[in-house]
Structure 1
């Protein structure tokens, strides 16, 4: 049976006012780029072609493939709190094992890399500790691979674990020092190499540790990465030139004293870093003065 309908009819219930506004705003932005920067349709085609090649090579959603272009725009924490990414990384795997606090991330007996002791506190906007906050922690191995995503012989939860903060909001864990890495699938796409170079960026990510922080008092869980101050890859980070906010960069120290090394049970020099998360809870002020800055 054939149903004849009015071809000009659009169901009002399906119209999304927010979508209409965003599309018009996006077109206005493109028009400004056209008039002020000489944007052409060929330019848009070139960008979308590279993004499609990246998506095909990596298998990640197209929005994530485009993160080098816009990642820093959606970074939270511009109100004095620890900046968040508000985007769950495609490298996250749920169900990591619980470790003690202090504890050690699961790793192989011969895990390559320099030992690293990470510590810090999870605080609210009043500087009070968030007791019992759950920290999901993970990072890449020395070969740049994330366990559970590629079959390179590493256990599924290698360098992945979670812990809960103590009565002072403190957490401490031992792992190996992350290193800069590049995604092999992305590097295999010639157009991506050219595009990154044109933007003055490396194909490498700076060394970083991923966290997800959960607590009943948080308005939203915190998701993001912490970096290491002085890493030369940070200014040319492939994912975004500003993604490594200064507030996300922690100092590190190299420990080479033999007695200190032996006291910690290591076979050679190790590093340490301390990083405090300051997160907005339901009772926190809207804006705070970041640590180390004057009001």
Structure 2
């Protein structure tokens, strides 16, 4: 039996007014780019074709593959004090092991790289310590790979762990110093190198450490990356040249004095780094100045 319906009927209950506005605004933006910048359909086809190739090569969701195009629009835009990506990273793995505070990130006995001692505080907008904040930490190994993402024999939680801040809001851990890296899967995709170069960017990402900070008093969890001041890759970052503002760049100190190395328990040179998170809580002021005082 065939049911006849009115082909012009649209259920009003299913209409999403916000979706209608966004689609119309997006079309208007494309029209402006067509008229003002010479955007063509071939341009759109080339961009979407390349994104599909990268998605097929990496297995990442298409929305994440497109982040190099949109990350500087959607990331780090809220006033949470310390800038945050506010986007779940595709390299995150839940349930990392708990380490002591101070502690050592899980790593292989022969983990390559220069040791790095990291410390800092988690504070609210009034510079008061946030005790018991869960700080999740992870970063790539020296070859640029993140543990647990590939069947490469590396332990799932290598260079991944979490700790809880003490009564003074302090955290401290030892790891190896991250380096700049490029995703080998993306580098092998035909056309990616030329497309990235055309945008004035590098296929590499600057060295960084990923953090997530959770606490019941936070307005939202903090998710983001902390970079290293002076890294020449930052301005040409594959994902976005403005994702590492000065507030997310930490100073590092190279320690080469034998007494310093012995005191820290290392047989060779090591680096140290300090970084404070100043985060918006339910009792924090709406805005603060860079030095942490109420605006």
Q: TM-score range by the shorter chain?
A: over 0.9
The residue number in structure 1 matching 2:136 is: 136
Structure 1 residue matching 2:238: 3-state secondary structure: coil
Alignment of 1:200-239 (within 5 A): 200-239=200-239
Alignment check: 8 A CA contact 1:80 1:290 kept:
no
The residue number in structure 2 matching 1:15 is: 15
The residue number in structure 2 matching 1:190 is: 190
Structure 1 residue matching 2:259: 3-state secondary structure: helix
Q: What's the Cα RMSD here?
A: 1.5
Q: What's the CA shift string for 1:64-106, capped at 9, x where partnerless? A: 1111111021223553711111111111111110000000000
How far 1:152 sits from its partner (Å)?
2.2
Structure 2: how far apart are the matches of 1:52 and 1:273?
39
1:63 and 2:63 equivalent?
Answer: yes
The residue number in structure 2 matching 1:37 is: 37
Alignment check: 8 A CA contact 2:121 2:171 kept:
yes
Q: What's the CA shift string for 1:206-249, capped at 9, x where partnerless? A: 10101111000011111111000001111111011111122111
How far 1:160 sits from its partner (Å)?
0.3
Q: What's the CA shift string for 1:162-188, capped at 9, x where partnerless? A: 000011111000000001111111000
The residue number in structure 2 matching 1:110 is: 110
**Under a length normalisation based on structure 1, what TM-score does the superposition of the two structures give?**
0.97
Structure 2: how far apart are the matches of 1:294 and 1:282?
15
Alignment check: 8 A CA contact 2:138 2:210 kept:
yes
1:120 and 2:120 equivalent?
Answer: yes
Alignment check: 8 A CA contact 1:68 1:238 kept:
yes
Structure 2: how far apart are the matches of 1:10 and 1:67?
34
For residues 101 and 77 of structure 1, do their structure 2 counterparts lie closer, same or farther at Cα, with a shift above 3 Å needed? farther
Q: Number of residues paired by the alignment?
A: 295
| Structure 1 unpaired stretches of 5+ | none
Structure 2: how far apart are the matches of 1:228 and 1:270?
15
Alignment check: 8 A CA contact 1:133 1:165 kept:
yes
The residue number in structure 2 matching 1:250 is: 250
Which sits farther off after the overlay, 146-155 or 94-103?
Answer: 146-155
**Under a length normalisation based on structure 2, what TM-score does the superposition of the two structures give?**
0.97
Structure 1: how far apart are the matches of 2:77 and 2:188?
34
Q: What's the CA shift string for 1:271-293, capped at 9, x where partnerless? A: 01111111111111221101289
How far 1:190 sits from its partner (Å)?
2.3
The residue number in structure 2 matching 1:86 is: 86
Q: What's the CA shift string for 1:95-147, capped at 9, x where partnerless? A: 11000000000011111000000111111111111110001100000111111
Structure 2: how far apart are the matches of 1:244 and 1:175?
21
Structure 2: how far apart are the matches of 1:231 and 1:159?
21
| Structure 2 unpaired stretches of 5+ | none
How far 1:255 sits from its partner (Å)?
0.3
Structure 1: how far apart are the matches of 2:256 and 2:198?
41
The residue number in structure 2 matching 1:282 is: 282
Structure 1: how far apart are the matches of 2:66 and 2:223?
19
